[in-house]
Structures are given as C-alpha cells and as structure tokens.
Amino acid sequence: MLQRADAVKSVDPAEFTRLIDQLHSQFNDLSAQQREHLQYLQGWRFAYSGDYAKAIPLLESLVDSASDPTLQFRAGSTATNVRALSTQYEGAFLQLNKLLNKLPEVTDPDARLQGMSVAADLYTLVGEYDLGIHYAQLVVKENARGRGVCRGEQIRLDALCKSKRIKADDPSLPAAINACLQQGESLAANAIRTTQARLFLREHRLDDAISLLERHYSEVEQSRYPRGISEWESLMAQAYQQRGAGVNAQRMASRAVEHAVKDQFTPPLIGAYRVLYEEAEKHGDITSAIAYLKKSAAADKAYLDDVTARQLAYERVKSNTLSTKSQLEALNQENKLLQLQGQLDSKAAETSRLYIALLMLVVVFIALWAYRTKRSQLHFMKLSQVDSLTGISNRPRFIQLAEAVLETARKSQQQASVVLCDLDHFKSINDRFGHAAGDHVLRQAVIACQSHLRVSDIFGRVGGEEFGIVLPGCGLEDAKQRAERLRVALNEIDPTYQGERCQVSGSFGVTSTEVSGYELRQLLAHADAALYRAKAAGRDRVLPYDGKIVPQEQPDPPIDDELRNLGHA
Ligand SMILES: Nc1nc2c(ncn2[C@@H]2O[C@H](COP(=O)(O)OP(=O)(O)OP(=O)(O)O)[C@@H](O)[C@H]2O)c(=O)[nH]1
C-alpha cells in the first residue's frame, strides 16, 4: 500500500488520499521503517494541499533521522521544495546544498530524479536559469524509469519561458506533454500546458490560449492541486479579458483568487486581482475596483518582496557556502601543507638515518683498517724485535729490555746481574757438521738455557753464538750459581747430530750491579772481561768479573758497536 500510494501520489490524488488514510488506520501494524515511509507520504500530502507549516517538520525530521538513506534524501528534496513554496528561501537553499552534496552517493534513480528536479526548480525560481536548465537536462538524461523526460522537460521549458528563450510553437512543448501523458503524469503535462498558455498570451495568440486552457480545465480541476488550479484559472481570466469576454474573465479570476494558496502572492494571483479590478472599473463598480486594486497592489508588492527575499536568501547562502568552501579549501591546503611537511620530515629523518648508517660504516671501516694496520704493525714490530733463528729477543730488543730492568733496579736499589755466554769452538761445529748443524745447536742451546731462567729474566742473542742474560734481583754469588746451572745444561745437550757426536759447551762471564754499577755499558764490558778470562782459562766455565782484568781499551763506542765487538770476542 505504501508503494502504491507513493506511485500514484501525483497522478491519482484521490487514490493517494484513500491509501494514506487506510495506512493511518493500520498504523500500529507498521514497522518502524514503514512508519517513516508513511510519515514522508503524509508530509508530501500536506505539502500538496498547501499546508506547508505541517509538511516541513514532518519531512525535515526524516532528513536527519530516517533509517533509510534514500528516504532521507527524498524527504530532503521535498522539504527543500516545500520551504521554497512557503517562501522560506534561506532554509530552502540550505537544504538544497545538503541535497547536492549527498547527490553523488544516491543511487536510487527516483530519488535522484526528485533531488535534481528540486535543484532545477529552485535555481529557476531565483532566475539562475542556466543552472536550472542544467539540472533539468540531467533529469532528462538519466530519465529514471522513463519519468525523467517529462519532469526535466517541464522545468527546462518553464526556465526557457521565463528567460524568454522559447516560442509557443516550439515542438519540444507538445513532445514533452506527450512524454508526460505516456507516463500518466497529468499534473506535469498540465504544468507544461500552463507554460504554453503563458507563451500564447505573451504572443497575443488569445484563441490558442483559450482553446488550450478550456480544453483541459476540467482535468486540471480534478487534480486537487490548488496552486496549479489557481494559476490555470488566472491565465484563463487574463485570456478571456484580453478577448473581451469580461464575464468569463471575472468568473475565472474569482476562482483563481479562491483557489490561491493562503498567503502566497504569485503572479497568477496578482493577474487575477488585476482582472477583477479592471472588470469592476469597467462596470463602474468603483468600490470593488478600488478594493481589487488595493489587493492587486498588495499582492504585487508582496510578490516583489518575495522575489527580493528569495534573491537575497540565495545570495546569502551562496556567499556563505563560498566562504565555507574557501575556508575548507584553506584548511585542505593547510592539511596538504602539513602532510607535505610530514613527508619532508620523514624524508629528512630517513636521510639522517642513511647518513648515520654511512657514518657508522665509515667508522667501522676505519676501525677495521686501523685494527689491521695495528696488527701488522705489531707483527712487524715483533719480527723486528725477535731473533728469527732462536725466537728469543734480538740484540736491540735485549738492550732495550735490559736497560729498563736495570733502571727499575737502580730506582729500587735492588741488585741485578749480567751474564754473557759464548759457545765454545762453535766455528768447528759449523766446519765439521755444516751450518745447519750449527743452527740446530744454537736452538738447542737456547732451549737448554730457557729451562733454567725465570720469567723476569732478560735473555737475548747478542752475537752469532753469544747470548746475554740479565737477572734482576740477583747478586753476584747467585748469578754465578745460576750461570753454572746454565753451563751444565749446555753440556747436557744431546751431543749427536745425524749420527755424529758434537759436544756443546759454553764459557760464561758474570758481573753484578754491586760490582759494576747500574750502567748497562759498564756491566756488559765487565761481563765480557770475565768471559774473556773464562775463554782464556780453558773454556766451559763460569768466571766472575773480579776487577783485575781490564777489557780491551775502546773509545766509548756506541752500544751497538760494542755489542758487535762483543760478538766477535
Ligand atoms: N751455523 C751458524 N753459525 C754461525 C752463526 N752466527 C755465527 N756463526 C759462526 O760462529 C763462528 C764463530 O767462530 P769464532 O768467533 O771463531 O769462535 P769459536 O769458533 O766459537 O771459538 P771460541 O769462541 O774461541 O771458542 C763463526 O764460524 C760464524 O760463522 C749462525 O747463526 N749459525
């Protein structure tokens, strides 16, 4: 029943009214959504009958609260229309803005037709004919369920008529009327006929106007649409008057006034009063003439006020919308700017992270490079400090370590001893068994000595087959005993090499700080003197420096030269 009522509401007013009443009687059986639909139809009925005050709250409450978005949009369309009809133009344009914003999301073709029709109507009403025509053409183009051509053409032709861009003979007029009739839209067909009648009157084709208006008058009367009936009758009155049929003119004008919607001052009403005034004046009824003239003037003024009001409302809403739009655009720009700023910040952070990563990579690379360099430096340093044959300190390293140990001993006034050891007849080992055997003996001699030395003792190869030993914390007597142990250890080296016997022995010269002081040069010289004495005494023995044997006089050579000389000793 709801659907049927909706379908017939503008084509069969009697059936529509009957259905609505019947639905009201079954109100309790309706679902919430059905009640909302009924509320919409009730609002529509009030609007149709000209009771705008009742129609508006019913419709607008649905705009905000209806559960179905399509019904919301439809209620909004009708509410816009009703507000315009009741001259609440600002409200109408505000509603229209809401509608046009929602329009892209609306899919229901009927609802779209209704919304776009309202837009077209309203723009035409404020003289924005091109905009009105634009929406009317959209209605025609979408042609929802075949009804778009009728509805859109009705508005487009009205806008063309008002903007004086069409003639009464334009073929689109009968074509549109036919389209409406095919759809059963007699109300719209008659609205187009009204437009055509106005055009006939404008072109002074009175017979055509009267013929058209009379032909369909009864049909219009049956429409129960007061606004349409009143306009029709006003046009008839004006046509009759111009034709000289005063009685008919007066009759129709009175009906037009009678049917006019209360407090609505439209051109048809003004026209009707004008006819009544002129007819009364013609018949000498001055009192009535003055009364109608006053009414006509009042209606005219009210209409002009209305035109001004709607123009003002339109301009006000338009400028508000524009300023809201520009505010929104400014906000959008600001948002875009903020977004860009955000993107820029994150890019900058990303770049910083890249830089940091790069920097870390460089640092790691440098650290690695430094580590490798240091390692190879240490390796080379070690190589430069170690005797490659025996693995103990070489001569420069021995001197360096010995000086350090003696300096420490000097500072703490502790004793230290220096021992020089030279292998006996080493040349003959080389000569008899070969150089490799000599090397082997040198390595064995070092191993034998090491097993009797402490970690704190300094042991180095100071010449070809000559070794230096510094014994920190060791006095002369102790040093002699320890040198003796070394001597015995050399004797105990396995004397066979590749099946041949090669006896190893060494001669030792010993001195200590208590005898020679803390100067390494002096200590070495004295130890060397003792060694010289041991060699001379028959080798394979330990002799201390006794101060009696003076080593060979030398003009204080640099310590390396001295050591070299010692090596040859
Ligand atoms: N195999 C080998 N021989 C070396 C090395 N360094 C020096 N020599 C040899 O050691 C020998 C030292 O001989 P001399 O200085 O005559 O002394 P010596 O034969 O030990 O006799 P005295 O010291 O008087 O007992 C020389 O023949 C050098 O060539 C070495 O690294 N390896």
- Give the DSSP letter string of 33-102: HHHHHHHHHHHHHHHHTT-HHHHHHHHHHHHHH-SSHHHHHHHHHHHHHHHHHTT-HHHHHHHHHHHHHH
Answer whether 510's CB lies under 8 Å from 530's CB.
yes
Q: Distance, CA 535 to ligand 1 centroid (Å)?
A: 14
Which residue puts its alpha carbon closest to atom 5 of ligand 1?
Answer: 464
Ligand 1 in contact with 467 (CB < 6 A)?
Answer: no
All structural domains of the chain with their residue ranges: 1-88, 107-223, 395-568
Q: What atom of ligand 1 comes closest to residue 441's alpha carbon?
A: 1
Q: Provide the pLDDT for residue 565.
A: 46
Q: What span, in angstroms and rounded, lies between the C-alpha atoms of 546 and 100?
A: 125
Ligand 1 in contact with 435 (CB < 6 A)?
Answer: yes
Q: Provide the pLDDT for residue 548.
A: 64
Which residue puts its alpha carbon closest to atom 32 of ligand 1?
Answer: 439
Q: Count of alpha carbons within 13 Å of 281, Cβ hemisphere only?
A: 13
Q: Provide the pLDDT for residue 118.
A: 93
Q: What span, in angstroms and rounded, lies between the C-alpha atoms of 180 and 217?
A: 17
Q: What atom of ligand 1 comes closest to residue 389's alpha carbon?
A: 31
The answer regarding whether domain 395-568 maps to CATH 3.30.70.270 reads yes
Q: Distance, CA 455 to ligand 1 centroid (Å)?
A: 28
Answer whether 205's CB lies under 8 Å from 189's CB.
no
pLDDT averaged per 10 residues, the chain (length 569): 91 90 93 94 91 93 90 94 89 91 91 93 92 95 91 95 96 96 91 96 96 95 90 96 95 94 86 95 94 93 89 87 77 88 92 94 94 89 87 94 96 96 94 90 95 95 96 96 97 82 92 95 95 95 81 48 44
Q: Distance, CA 389 to ligand 1 centroid (Å)?
A: 14
Q: Which residue do the tokens 């003119």 mark?
A: 249
Q: Provide the pLDDT for residue 382.
A: 77
Q: Which pTM does this prediction carry? A: 0.53
Q: Distance, CA 467 to ligand 1 centroid (Å)?
A: 12
Which residue puts its alpha carbon closest to atom 18 of ligand 1?
Answer: 425
Output the furthest CA–CA distance in the chain (Å, rounded). Answer: 180
Q: Distance, CA 465 to ligand 1 centroid (Å)?
A: 6
Which residue puts its alpha carbon closest to atom 31 of ligand 1?
Answer: 464
CA-CA distances (angstroms) from residue 18 to 2, 31, 78, 230?
11, 20, 21, 24
Query: Which sign, positive or negative, has the C-alpha torsion 247, 250, 252, 255?
Result: negative
Ligand 1 in contact with 427 (CB < 6 A)?
Answer: yes
Residues 6+ apart with CB under 8 A from 358: none
Which residue puts its alpha carbon closest to atom 26 of ligand 1?
Answer: 427
Ligand 1 in contact with 464 (CB < 6 A)?
Answer: yes
Q: What span, in angstroms and rounded, lies between the C-alpha atoms of 112 and 134?
A: 14
Name the nearest CA neighbour of 396 among 529, 520, 569: 520
Ligand 1 in contact with 426 (CB < 6 A)?
Answer: yes
Q: What span, in angstroms and rounded, lies between the C-alpha atoms of 200 and 206?
A: 7
Q: Distance, CA 434 to ligand 1 centroid (Å)?
A: 12
Q: What span, in angstroms and rounded, lies between the C-alpha atoms of 523 and 38?
A: 127
Q: Provide the pLDDT for residue 564.
A: 45
Q: Provide the pLDDT for residue 560.
A: 53
Q: What atom of ligand 1 comes closest to residue 539's alpha carbon?
A: 25
Q: Provide the pLDDT for residue 500.
A: 77
Q: What is the three-state SS of 280-299?
A: HHHCCCHHHHHHHHHHHHHH
Q: Distance, CA 141 to ligand 1 centroid (Å)?
A: 121
CA-CA distances (angstroms) from residue 201 to 173, 234, 239, 538, 540?
15, 12, 7, 162, 156
Q: Which two tokens stand for residue 218?
A: 């009864």
Residue of 395, 426, 441 to test ligand 1 pocket, by largest number of atoms within 8 Å of CB? 426
Residue of 420, 425, 430, 566 to test ligand 1 pocket, by largest number of atoms within 8 Å of CB? 430
Q: What atom of ligand 1 comes closest to residue 435's alpha carbon?
A: 1
Ligand 1 in contact with 425 (CB < 6 A)?
Answer: yes
> What are the two backbone dihedrals, phi and then psi, of residue 546, each rounded to the nearest 5 degrees?
-110, 5
Q: What atom of ligand 1 comes closest to residue 428's alpha carbon?
A: 19
